[in-house]
Structure 1
Amino acid sequence: MDAKTLIAAYYDAFNAGRTDEMLGYLHDDVEHHVNQGPIRRGKAAFAEFNAHMTRSYREKLTDMVIMASEAGDRAAAEFVVNGSYLATDDGLPEAQGQTYVLPAGAFFAIRDGKIARVTTYYNLADWTRQVGA
């Protein structure tokens, strides 16, 4: 599977709520670099993060554009996050079902046909403003 197809499949699984399927696209030694917080290493840490996110947020990504290097070892995606804030997350405003629309992007390293690094960026101040903090 080429890099663009791999990233598309990863996000298709995300949009369908199939977080277990997302794990299948990840390298065993995946590094997850989030916008705010520490780097998570390994599939178990990624699965834990996904479980937390599923409890606190319901999100669908739209306007997806995926780009890949010619070598196929790096890729990027730009998209819009359309979400609902379901349960209060530590250190963030109280959740009351607020909705938000947030531009975001992600960068990927690909090794052995799997995603070895996911780095996600979005504007936390914009999100905070949208949920009414």
Structure 2
Amino acid sequence: MGREVIERYFAAFNAGDTEGMLDCLATDVEHHVNEGQIRVGKVKFAEFCAHMSHCYAENLTDMVVFANDEGTRGAAEYIVNGTYKATDSGLPEAKGQTYRLPAGSFFSLKDGLITRVVTYYNLADWVRQVS
């Protein structure tokens, strides 16, 4: 059960379907972003997605999803293929640069929903690629 919800979550991400991603999340989801604060709840998650969609166009490839037998924990490793569309606060100026970045996510799951999303990537590598 854990793999399926993670796979639906990432399929929605690649389709640009924020509502589909939200459907995979528990109401009180904890979103741990790389180099950022923990955001709690679907509203904060949706706000984050809107910001990201404004600044970046991304597609995930080479996806490998893992889950424990109990369906309570999962992980995914993938490549982020992106275009930097609009300058994000505190980061280099956006000029349509493209990037390819290995990344990973970790999940906690309960009752078939994602209760925690943790995403990691190498920010220094991303900055190097877009600078």
1:120 counterpart SS class: strand
The structural deviation recorded for 1:76 is 0.2
Name the residue aligned to 2:109: 110
The structural deviation recorded for 1:111 is 1.0
1:129 counterpart SS class: helix
The alignment's TM-score, normalised by the length of structure 1, stands at 0.98
How far, CA to CA, are the matches of 2:111 and 2:30 in structure 1?
14
How far, CA to CA, are the matches of 2:96 and 2:19 in structure 1?
25
- The residue type paired with residue 111 of structure 2 is D
Identity of aligned residues (%): 62
Q: How many aligned residue pairs are there?
A: 131
- Correspondence 1:1-133 to 2 at 5 A: 2-132=1-131
Runs of 4+ more than 3 Å apart: none
How far, CA to CA, are the matches of 1:55 and 1:87 in structure 2?
7
Q: CA RMSD in A?
A: 0.4
Q: Which blocks of at least 5 consecutive residues in structure 2 are unaligned? A: none
Q: Which blocks of at least 5 consecutive residues in structure 1 are unaligned? A: none
How far, CA to CA, are the matches of 2:2 and 2:79 in structure 1?
20
Q: String of CA shifts for 1:71-94, please: whole Å, max 9, x gaps.
A: 110000000000000000000000
